Amino acid sequence: MTALRRLLLVNGPNLNLLGTREPGIYGSATLADVERIVADAAAAAGFDLRAIQSNHEGVLIDAIHAAREDCAGIVINPGGLTHTSVSLRDALTGVGLPFAEVHISDVHAREEFRHFSYLHDVAAVRVIGRGVDGYADAVRELAALV
């Protein structure tokens, strides 16, 4: 596939614990399950996929920067960085790629601090509270834009 037919999947801090972390909130699907769901949805839309998960903000930012060279868009679940990271926002806006912000749980029905997102006003797509299937929804919506 050509470089511009690739999406970057970014999963932030603690998402490596999916499947065991608070299953009442996040369900039983693992990060590997999420990556498979996204890869399948991307392939169905004609896209290749590169995936990264890190608990380190700088690693995520470096991956986002690199995406400007060979990706058409980004699907990101920033985890807790959603509510704290101006740097992540700046990286996403700086590369100029459309991106989808994904949250497994309904962050608006949770603690007050989770109601705010540094990405909400710059994301091309937002998918919130649809479980891990929301990732596939995000891919389809993003693919329609790119």
Q: Binding site residues, as ranges?
A: 77, 83, 90, 104-105, 114
Cα gap 34→116, rounded to integer Å? 24
Q: Annotated binding site for substrate, which residues? A: 77, 83, 90, 104-105, 114
Is residue 26 part of the annotated active site? The answer reads yes
Query: For the residues of 39-77, what is the DSSP string, one character each?
Result: HHHHHHTT-EEEEEE-S-HHHHHHHHHHHHHH-SEEEEE
Residue among 26, 118, 120, 135 flagged as catalytic: 26
The reply to whether 118 belongs to the active site is no
* Selected catalytic residue, list 103, 115, 120, 135: 103
Residue 48 tokens, joined: 């290749």
Catalytic residues: 26, 103
